[in-house]
């Protein structure tokens, strides 16, 4: 039986992959062809989705982008034997966009059946857990520390240090919490892992549980991700059945339980302490730190809170060793970062690369420039709290420290591209509006300051007391940076000030770019 792959990834579905799979099934049946349709994750090359891949004697052959109406012709042309057709792409892994990536965390995404435990194990899955089960707790943590892995959720805090703190906080109950709130616009790597290879997250969390002695894990998933929810629940069930979750993991006598909890559309609940409040059933008000969640976390117990990508990178680290992972990257940014090309970009998608590539390479060599064909004018890296960059800054290497040096952040690796039709005063205003909408309300500079920020920008744009209001805006940003408890209020000034400084002409100011 020929295996044919059509993605179940949300973005592929948003382009019609569901109908493609359905049509393929009915057309094949009508033509008496026996096929096995696998609903895989996405390869992350979304300009080619819906992508259809066929397992042939010569290996996997891809066709795309395929619409349901193309199916009869594709079958007639001999798609199941990998024959030629205008939509023929050949071996997708030979395309430079794919070939030049370093797919460590995403090794299986787009390749396997996401909810098949057998498939996972056949593709090197659960090897990290196997190693971890034979190690002392401190040894597991040491591998993570040695890997140089830093939190991929935004703050880039060393994961090994966090785990060590939880390990050394004695308690009857500890928790592993996965932050799957992925609220940043322009990001979808967490979603792609959860939809395309949920077992790698489950394995990573199980290893974390073993490492620090936590027996219960929660995945706090944003409600906007119903397809990820489904895939996770299917995989969790399979893991329980296969003895990879439960009271006795693979006969080790060690327990780890896992459950998905849904958020409810609050961006601030991606902030780790707000997330914990939400998991406890409360409003997502940010907590004061200290105490750190690693010491007083969920229900007052020591808790690891890690991003999806951080946790999903753990299995390969435990499989191949901390050194293997650390050998990728530059400076203090070790390993790989799954970058997400979004917005106005021709070849949008997921690109997992070792740290060190420049933004320009990514935007032009792989991204292919803007989708509209117009010049790229502004690029926001690191989500809604990240700075807007302009052309002169595109040669900055993708590295935490290099970005910090230009007052920017890499964050969760989201890259939103705008062409020259963008109005940067509007984007600055939007950043303030977003803060109004999403502030948890605890600190005045964030709650009220953002409302004032919208008004001041409106006055600048309307040319009312321009010089005075620009000064006021800067003052206000200063107050937000200094007087906010968390990065919501504390970093909203990044997009606002970078827009003002790099694109003053959009505010009706003289273009005096330093």
Partner 1 sequence: MTQDYQNQKPVVLDVLAAHQAMPGNLLPILHGIQDNLGYIPADAVADIAAALNLSRAEVHGVISFYHYFRTTPPGKHVVRICRAESCQAMNGRTLEKHATQMLGIDFHETTADERFSLEAVYCLGNCACSPAITIDGDIYGRVTPEKFDQLIAACKGAQ
Instruction: Please report where in the chains the tokens 């951080």 appear, as a residue.
Output: 310
Contacting residue, 181, 197, 419, 506, with ligand FMN by CB under 6 A: 181
User: In this structure, what token pair is assigned to residue 237?
Assistant: 């069930």
Minimum gap (Å) between residue 193 Cβ and ligand FMN: 12
Interaction partner, residue 442 (partner 1, ligand FMN, ligand SF4, none; CB < 5-8 Å by kind)? ligand SF4
Q: Which of 53, 70, 113, 182 binds ligand FMN (CB under 6 A)?
A: 182
Residues paired with residue 258 on neighbouring β-strands, in sequence order: 217
Instruction: Find the shortest distance in angstroms from Cβ 443 to ligand SF4.
Output: 3
Closest CA to 144 of 314, 320, 334: 314
Binding-residue total with ligand SF4 (CB under 6 A): 15
Output the smallest distance, CB 385 to ligand SF4, in A: 11
According to DSSP, the residues that pair with 329 across neighbouring strands are 334
Q: How far is the CB of 274 from partner 1 (least distance, A)?
A: 10
The pair of three-digit structure tokens given for residue 442, joined into one six-digit string: 């605890």
Residue 150: DSSP 8-state: B
Which of 420, 423, 422, 431 has its CA nearest to residue 382? 431
Q: Which residue is nearest to ligand FMN (CB)?
A: 151
What is the spatial distance between Cα 183 and Cα 437, in angstroms, rounded to a whole number? 13
**231 belongs to the binding site for ligand SF4 (CB under 6 A):** no
Q: Quick one: which segment of 178-186, 303-311, 313-321, 355-363 binds partner 1 (CB under 8 A)?
A: 178-186
| 149 contacts ligand FMN (rule: CB under 6 A) | no
Q: Does 386 help bind ligand FMN (rule: CB under 6 A)?
A: no
Name residues contacting ligand SF4, limited to 250-289 (CB under 6 A). 268, 286
Task: Name which position in 10, 112, 169, 179 contacts ligand FMN (CB under 6 A).
Answer: 179
Query: Smaller CB distance to ligand FMN: residue 15 or 156?
Result: 156
The rounded distance, in Å, linking the Cα atoms of 84 and 78 is 8
State yes or no: cis peptide before 290, omega within 30 of 0.
yes
375 binds, among ligand SF4, partner 1, ligand FMN, none (CB under 5 to 8 A by kind): none
* Six-digit token string for 183: 């609220």
**For 44-124, where are the alpha helices, taking DSSP H only?**
71-77, 96-99, 117-122
* CA 254 – CA 231 distance, rounded (Å): 25
Cα–Cα dist 109/104, whole Å: 10
Count helices and strands in the chain by DSSP H and E runs: 22, 16
E-strand ranges in 363-407 read 376-381, 388-389
Please tell me what DSSP assigns to residue 362: I
Nearer to ligand SF4, 286 or 500 (CB): 286
Tell me which of 110, 411, 413, 489 binds ligand SF4, using CB under 6 A: 489
Where along the sequence are the contacts to ligand SF4 (CB under 6 A)? 268, 286, 439-443, 446-447, 484-486, 488-490
Where along the sequence are the contacts to ligand FMN (CB under 6 A)? 151-155, 157, 179, 181-183, 268, 270-272, 305-307, 310, 486-488
Where along the sequence are the contacts to partner 1 (CB under 8 A)? 10-11, 13-15, 46, 182-188, 190-191, 223-227, 261-267, 278-284, 299, 340-344, 348-350, 371, 380, 384, 414, 416-419, 422, 427, 430, 434, 437-438
């Amino acid at each position: 039986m020929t295996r044919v792959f059509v993605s179940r990834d949300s973005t592929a579905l948003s382009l019609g992959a569901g109908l493609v799979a359905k049509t393929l099934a009915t057309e094949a049946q009508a033509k008496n062809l026996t096929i096995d349709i696998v609903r895989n994750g996405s390869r992350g090359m979304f300009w080619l989705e819906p992508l259809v891949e066929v397992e042939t004697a010569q290996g996997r052959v891809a066709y795309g982008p395929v619409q349901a109406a193309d199916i009869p012709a594709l079958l007639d042309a001999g798609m199941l034997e990998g024959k030629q057709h205008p939509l023929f792409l050949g071996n997708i892994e030979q395309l430079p966009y794919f070939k030049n990536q370093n797919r460590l965390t995403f090794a299986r995404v787009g390749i396997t059946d996401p909810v098949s435990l057998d498939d996972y194990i056949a593709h090197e899955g659960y090897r990290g857990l196997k190693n971890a089960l034979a190690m002392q707790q401190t040894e597991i943590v040491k591998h993570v520390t040695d890997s140089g892995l830093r939190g991929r959720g935004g703050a880039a805090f060393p994961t090994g240090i966090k785990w060590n703190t939880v390990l050394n906080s004695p308690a009857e109950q500890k928790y592993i919490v996965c932050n799957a709130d992925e609220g940043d616009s322009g990001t979808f790597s967490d979603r792609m892992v959860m939809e395309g290879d949920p077992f790698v997250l489950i394995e990573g969390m199980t290893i974390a549980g073993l490492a620090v002695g936590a027996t219960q894990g929660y995945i706090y998933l944003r409600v906007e991700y119903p397809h990820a929810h489904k895939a996770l629940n299917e995989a969790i069930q399979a893991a329980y059945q296969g003895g990879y979750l439960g009271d006795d993991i693979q006969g080790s006598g060690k327990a780890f339980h896992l459950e998905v909890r849904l958020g409810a559309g609050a961006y601030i609940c991606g902030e780790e302490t707000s997330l914990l409040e939400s998991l406890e059933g409360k409003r997502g008000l940010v907590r004061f730190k200290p105490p750190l969640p690693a010491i007083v976390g969920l229900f007052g117990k020591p808790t690891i809170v890690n991003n999806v990508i951080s946790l999903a990178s753990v299995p390969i680290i435990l499989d191949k060793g901390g050194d293997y992972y650390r050998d990728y990257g530059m400076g203090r940014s070790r390993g790989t970062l799954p970058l997400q090309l979004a917005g106005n970009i021709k070849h949008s998608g997921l690109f997992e690369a070792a740290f060190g590539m420049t933004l320009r390479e990514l935007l032009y060599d792989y991204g292919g420039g803007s989708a509209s064909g117009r010049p790229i004018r502004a690029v926001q890296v690191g989500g809604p709290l990240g700075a807007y960059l302009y052309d002169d800054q595109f040669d900055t290497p993708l590295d935490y420290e290099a970005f910090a040096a230009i007052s920017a952040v890499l964050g969760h690796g989201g890259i939103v591209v705008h062409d020259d039709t963008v109005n940067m005063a509007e984007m600055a205003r939007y950043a303030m509006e977003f803060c109004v909408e999403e502030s948890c309300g605890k600190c005045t500079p964030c709650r009220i300051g953002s409302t004032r920020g919208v008004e001041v920008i409106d006055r600048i744009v309307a040319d009312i007391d321009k010089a005075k209001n620009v000064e006021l805006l800067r003052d206000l940003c200063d107050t937000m940076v200094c007087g906010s408890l968390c990065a919501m209020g504390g970093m909203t000034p990044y997009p606002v000030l970078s827009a003002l400084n790099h694109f003053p002409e959009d505010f009706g100011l003289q273009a005096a770019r330093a």
